[in-house]
Amino acid sequence: MPNPKRRHSQQRSAKRRTHYKAKAHTLTTDATTGEVHLRHRAYVSEGKLIYKGKVVAEKAPSNA
């Protein structure tokens, strides 16, 4: 496998890395609950796990 004959400069590495940027997450407001959440992710609202406006799971009652 080919290897570089000489070391790359720090500037050359930095030029390559300039394209890696942190992006802000896209947020959405749910129509049924009005809760703000990440898109395409399930979220918890009032002890219930909700995805695409439907209840996926409910918190089991604790026997304490």
Instruction: For 1-64, give the DSSP string.
Output: ----SSPPPHHHHHHHHTT----PPPEEE-TTT--EEETTS-EEETTEEEETTEEEEEPPPP--
Residue 17 lies inside a defined structural domain of this protein: no
Instruction: Tell whether 4 is covered by a domain.
Output: no
pTM of the model: 0.55
Phi and psi, residue 16, nearest 5°: -70, -35
**Separation CA 59–CA 27 (nearest Å):** 24
The pLDDT > 90 percentage for the chain reads: 19
33 lies in some domain: yes
Once rounded to an integer, what is the mean pLDDT over residues 27-48? 89
Q: Is residue 10 part of a domain?
A: no
Q: Tell which wins on pLDDT, 51 or 59.
A: 51
Residue 64 in this model has a pLDDT that exceeds 70? no
Instruction: Print the domain residue range for 49.
Output: 27-64
| pLDDT score at 6 | 87
